């Protein structure tokens, strides 16, 4: 391998890491939710609720992951080991579906609890497939985020382009196989359709 090849490989990996972080569900879903709600004329109180709930779920997942790593129960916050990933998916599904149920019970707007419900359903579907493959939730959530910014054509196109970049990054970083990414994107598309059907 030449120095040029090595430099190109490092640049490729750095770009993949940047895309993986930029398209991380904890960042992308809250941003897409707030953008979509604002574009559809949601009042400031709803925008604050979208941001607060999304960030609270993301923060809870991050804290849980860090606690698991610090306690020596997990090897990495990515939860790549099957046992770790199963635990993370269970916690994530409970948080998303629990938050969706609470918001529905409190009478919050349909888009707010429906977005959490379809995200939770996506995690459940990924968990059900865990015996066959490690579904890429990064890719799935990136596709789902496009539904949150619709009907902005520019916003939807930008999010879908980012989803493609996230899919590429997961391959380059060897986090998933092409099949795992394809299934993740397909599940994300199904969740996106379900959301748009629920929220005209």
* Residues belonging to the chain: 200
Q: How many CA atoms lie within 13 A of 127 on its CB side?
A: 18
In a domain, 5, yes or no: no
Q: Is residue 8 part of a domain?
A: no
Q: Identify whether 7 is part of a domain.
A: no
Cβ neighbours, 10 Å, residue 76: 11
How many structural domains are present in the chain?
Answer: 1
1 is a domain residue? no
Global pTM? 0.90
Nearest to residue 77, comparing CAs of 92, 91, 61? 61
d(CA 79, CA 97): 21
Task: Quote the domain boundaries for residue 190.
Answer: 13-198
CA distance linking residue 8 with residue 2, whole number of Å: 10
Residue 150, classed as helix, strand or coil, is: coil
Instruction: Say if 193 falls within a structural domain.
Output: yes
Return d(Cα 147, Cα 152) in angstroms, integer: 10
The answer to whether position 6 is within a domain reads no
Residues in contact with 119: Cβ distance below 8 Å, sequence separation at least 6, in sequence order: 29, 96, 141, 144, 191
**Tens digit of each residue's pLDDT (9 = 90 or more) over 13-70:** 999 989 988 898 988 999 999 999 998 888 898 888 888 998 899 889 989 999 999 9
Give residue-wise pLDDT tens across range 78-101: 777 888 889 999 999 999 999 999
Beta strands in 30-150 (DSSP E): none
Residue 4 lies in a domain: no
Decide if 116 is inside a domain: yes
């Amino acid at each position: 391998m030449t120095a040029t090849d090595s430099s190109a490989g490092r640049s490729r990996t750095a770009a993949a890491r940047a895309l993986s972080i930029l398209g991380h569900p904890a960042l992308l879903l809250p941003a897409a939710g707030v953008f979509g709600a604002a574009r559809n004329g949601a009042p400031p109180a709803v925008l604050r609720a979208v941001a607060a709930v999304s960030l609270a779920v993301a923060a809870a997942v991050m804290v849980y992951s860090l606690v698991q790593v610090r306690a020596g129960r997990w090897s990495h916050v990515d939860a790549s080991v099957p046992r770790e990933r199963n635990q993370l998916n269970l916690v994530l599904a409970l948080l998303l579906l629990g938050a969706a149920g609470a918001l529905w019970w409190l009478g919050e707007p349909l888009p707010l609890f429906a977005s959490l419900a379809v995200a939770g359903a996506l995690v459940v579907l990924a968990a059900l497939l865990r015996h066959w493959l490690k579904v890429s939730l990064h890719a799935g959530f990136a596709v789902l985020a496009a539904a949150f910014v619709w009907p902005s054509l520019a916003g939807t196109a930008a999010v879908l382009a980012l989803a493609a970049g996230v899919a590429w990054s997961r391959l380059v970083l060897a986090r998933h196989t092409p099949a795992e990414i394809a299934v993740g994107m397909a599940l994300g598309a199904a969740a996106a359709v379900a959301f748009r059907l629920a929220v005209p």
